[in-house]
Amino acid sequence: MNEASPIVEMKGISIEFPGVKALDDVGFRLFPGEVHSLMGENGAGKSTLIKALTGVYRIDSGTITIGGRERRLHGTADAEAAGISTVYQEINLCTNLSIGENVMLGHEVRGRFGIGWRDTHRAATEALAKLGLADVDTRRPLSSLSLAMQQLVAISRAMVVNAKVLVLDEPTSSLDANEVAGLFNVIRRLRDQGVAILFVSHFLDQVFAISDRITVLRNGRFEGEYFRRQLDRATLISAMIGKDLDALKALGSNRHSGERDRTVVPLLRATGLGRKGSLEPTDIELHKGEVVGFAGLLGSGRTELARLLYGADRPDRGQVAVDGEPAHVHTPVNGLDHGIAYSTENRRDEGILGDLTVRENLILAVQARRGWARPLSRREQDEIVQRYMAALNVRPADPERLIKNLSGGNQQKVLLGRWLAVNPRLLILDEPTRGIDVGAKAEIQAEVARLAEDGVSVVFISSELEEVVRLSERIVVLKDHHKIGELVNGPDVTAQRIVEIIAEHDFGVEHAFSREQDGTVAAAEEVPS
């Protein structure tokens, strides 16, 4: 790494949109042969800076120097000509074409009579070999590859032009741990070949595993540039959110509630609740003011159980009681009538309405519950909007902005506000912090803790087991659409303990988890093979 010769140097970069200054006098340096992570909360300016570097946005002021030459980038073609290639989170490939056609798309080998497909596939094989993928058959259809392999094909296509700079925007968001490890091997190979790699991710563990250097942005301004070895996680998070982690660490201080009286009638009790092909019969109790985590791998039945409790899916077996009285919760309207609200894991497709404003999204559940024939007055709307935008720190604080123009973390806050506005007794949050930055995550976790203190019951579902352990008083563990155990939280309950429970459970024999000596693990249901 040569400190004297950055391949990219951005100085004094400012970009302003109507009503907001997205970047304010930002600097950034990128050196050959390094992986440089760009960090910050949602809305900090990361995407704007990347789009300035890749020619999508024109800068209002400042300079961009690439390879020692100052550039004015008027589009992505200018950026590519300067040696910059980008692979975005949403892989932009053509699944109806072969692997080789995707790698060489726009750069096919041509002869006197048009495209020479044999030479084109040979060139694709050579490009893939640079990433350690020489054995891939380039004539196979792209659709036959896993998402992780398609990601590598996208990187190979980006490198066909011999890019000096590779921008990777959230490349691991849909990959499992083994696939991430494979991708990181490719990234390190490119780094060792002298390519400068700009890496953007919300996953702190991945940032620390792959980065040589880290730049932090906050509220559109440059916060600092650090060598990875100079940082620990607490320092990085503090730089990103502008405050220390005491508040976040304190969230877990009241999670251990072994003294709770469980003889009282629970807010909700489900007995044998299930749905064929979706969830095996399950018993669960939810008490007032209790945060209950649902833990399990993808496909374990976490979301299926949540949807049955809310009424988004209709159960075909079992009973539900609310306050000790039988309750028919077979539709979302039934759920809302009983004070149950559900925030979906699919924020983009089932949560926000992108072409509506923040105001319209916030009031949607209250208006639906009241009925469309009785529209909310402007005063009532303003009360809801002002209360929850302030309480959840939605940024920018403009209720008339289209919600699709907000960052992911702020969209999630608006969704949370929508359901809080109906004053639920039970709030079910399915992956509320997925894909958002650590600052927004901390704010949402703090809101969950506050809701529980105010007597609201919360079901909290997250793929990040540490998050489930931090927030939950009890944890329901699921595997293969079965409930396999419950843990009452305590000092000995860790993410690793949950993983061990999942790994240990075998449906092929009668098996139940024995109660630990400290009483933290409740016996699992015996599940027939």
Provide the whole-model pTM. 0.59
pLDDT at 19: 65
Q: Does residue 477 contact residue 310 with C-beta atoms inside 8 Å?
A: no
Sign of CA dihedral 298, 300, 306, 308: positive
Enumerate the β-bridge partners of residue 399: none
φ, ψ for residue 466 (rounded to 5)? -60, -35
Alpha-carbon radius of gyration of the chain: 26
Helix (H, G, I), strand (E, B) or coil at 132: coil
Sequence letter at residue 68: G
* Domains of the chain by residue range: 8-243, 249-339+424-522, 353-421
pLDDT at 520: 38
Helix extents (H) in 472-529:
495-504
pLDDT at 90: 66
Domains 8-243 and 249-339+424-522 share a fold: yes
φ, ψ for residue 526 (rounded to 5)? -75, 125
Chain centroid to Cα 454, Å, comes to 27
DSSP conformation class of 213: E
Helix extents (H) in 311-437:
332-337, 358-370, 378-391, 408-420
Helix (H, G, I), strand (E, B) or coil at 53: helix
Instruction: Spell out the CATH class of 249-339+424-522.
Output: alpha beta
pLDDT at 437: 67
- Block mean pLDDT (10 aa), the chain, length 529: 78 86 93 94 84 94 95 93 86 86 89 88 91 89 87 88 89 78 90 94 87 92 92 81 56 54 90 93 95 88 95 94 94 92 82 91 91 91 92 87 85 89 94 75 84 93 87 93 93 88 66 36 35
Can you tell me the distance from the alpha carbon of 452 to that of 124, in angstroms, rounded to the nearest whole number?
56
DSSP conformation class of 347: I
Kindly state which CATH superfamily the domain 8-243 is placed in: P-loop containing nucleotide triphosphate hydrolases (3.40.50.300)
